[in-house]
Structure 1
């Protein structure tokens, strides 16, 4: 891939793909159902018929991991572009 034609749109596409792969790999490694499976019940004292049950299987950890990796990859656009252009200049001189 020529880095002279490497645009921010292409970088966003690659960043989304890489963060998706990171999410899939982390899902396979950590198995969210074994991370933080917790069950909570909230019952009102005033109205005994209202019971709210909440369960968490740990999928929020993977979501946060994917979001952080996406943000880091998007921030890396200018350094990647600068390093790529420097490499092209070095190869062009030889």
Structure 2
């Protein structure tokens, strides 16, 4: 698929692989991302872990596995499910893990 035909994003979950996620899923993923960011800002480990898992599961559910035989660059990179709050904090941009 050429860059001009591409719709959506390629999202990598570290240690797991890449997923093709359509633009129609981004609003929901941004909601899940906001919960991760809120837990980190509050220093709430009890809320952080389920929020991160929900975000990763949202990507898995909304996306299809990206072809393994291609060498496409990821548009976004998410931490693995076992990442610490400090690890995820270091990956956060001004608008979270998922821009928008």
Q: Same fold (TM over 0.5)?
A: no
More helix by share: 1
Name which one, 1 or 2, has greater alpha-carbon Rg: 1
With the length of structure 1 as denominator, give the TM-score of the two structures: 0.31
Scaled by the length of structure 2, the TM-score of the pair is 0.29
